[in-house]
Amino acid sequence: MRFGAHVSAAGGLVNAPRNAHNLGCDTFQFFSRSPRGGAPTNIDTDTSKLFRKYCAEYNLLTCYIHTPYYINFASPNNRIYNGSIEVVRQELERGEALGVTATMTHLGSAKDIVANKIIPIVATALIKTLQGYEGKNRFLIEIAAGSGAVIGASFEQVAAIIQAVEKKIKHHTIGVCFDTAHAFASGYDLRNEQVVNETLKKFDKIIGLKRLVVIHANDSLVDFATRKDRHQNIGKGKIGLSGFKALVRHPKLKHLDFILETPWTNEQTVKKDLHTLRSLQTKK
């Protein structure tokens, strides 16, 4: 089990592994481009070599790209819909150039789509995204928080989308990023060992734990099943220390990376959250 955080790549992508190391991370996540729009910087050979070099020097054996916030595979606006396909494919290729482990994305919102049309529309977009992609950088769907008409808040919907995509794209196995705050807000309880076990059993039955690649370790500012995306520092929110203790000690999660996306006041805030997660592995 490795612990890390989402880190800045400001000033150049090679700064991401440096920043992760300075925070005391064992793994990390970053944006390879602005999360709010605009053309990405080019990843040339030197950037690729330096990025990989720093990851090796700092013993950062895994790392992850998070796609921009504006991705929406169900948008009725063709510019957004086609742009989402193009950008996520670019991020897979960019991650491949850097040697990242996986690239994760939110699926978007379906507020203007009839319910029974959501899965085929999103699946078609993902098929277009993955068609012809042969890289090792794995594609991940992130569990969503369930606010509004957001896609991917239920295990059943994520499983149905994966099944529909893999009927057409047989060479690529889609993985899942499990965000604790999102899952909790969507109605999957994580507050103690008993409910963590129940939630993971449900995940395994519906999606399959073999698809679970990484955990976004975030406490929740909002109450259980309130369907809002509000992160909190570890132990300061509604999930609490008991829930995270059960997660970091769960035998079926021991091979996974736990990455923080908790509120950032300064470096000490992140370092404290990292220390808290690590201490929960051994604390009685």
pLDDT of residue 156: 97
Instruction: Please report, for residues 82, 84, 122, the alpha-carbon distance to residue 77 in angstroms, rounded to integers and kept in the order given.
Output: 9, 11, 14
Tell me which residue of 223, 220, 216 sits closest to 237, measured CA to CA: 220
CATH classification code of 2-280: 3.20.20.150
230 CB-near residues (< 8 Å, 6+ apart):
181, 185, 220, 221, 222
Q: Supply the pLDDT for residue 284.
A: 64
Of 10, 68, 59, 61, whose CA–CA distance to 39 is shortest?
A: 68
Name the token pair of 205. Answer: 């039955």
Nearest partner of 173 among 219, 211, 214, judged by Cα: 211
Predicted pLDDT of residue 17: 98
**Which pair of structure tokens corresponds to residue 223?**
């109450």
One pLDDT digit (tens) per residue for the chain, 284 residues: 999 999 999 999 999 999 999 999 999 999 999 998 888 999 999 999 999 999 999 999 999 999 999 999 999 999 999 999 999 999 999 999 999 999 999 999 988 776 778 999 999 999 999 999 999 999 999 999 987 789 999 999 999 999 999 999 988 899 999 999 999 999 999 999 999 999 999 999 999 999 999 999 999 999 999 999 999 999 999 999 999 999 999 999 999 999 999 998 889 999 999 999 999 988 66
Q: Which residues contact 190 (CB under 8 A, 6 or more apart)?
A: 180, 183, 184, 196, 199, 239, 243, 246, 247
Ramachandran assignment for 256, one of left (phi > 0), alpha (psi -120 to 50 degrees), beta (any other): beta
User: How far is Cα 171 from Cα 47, in angstroms, rounded to an integer?
Assistant: 29
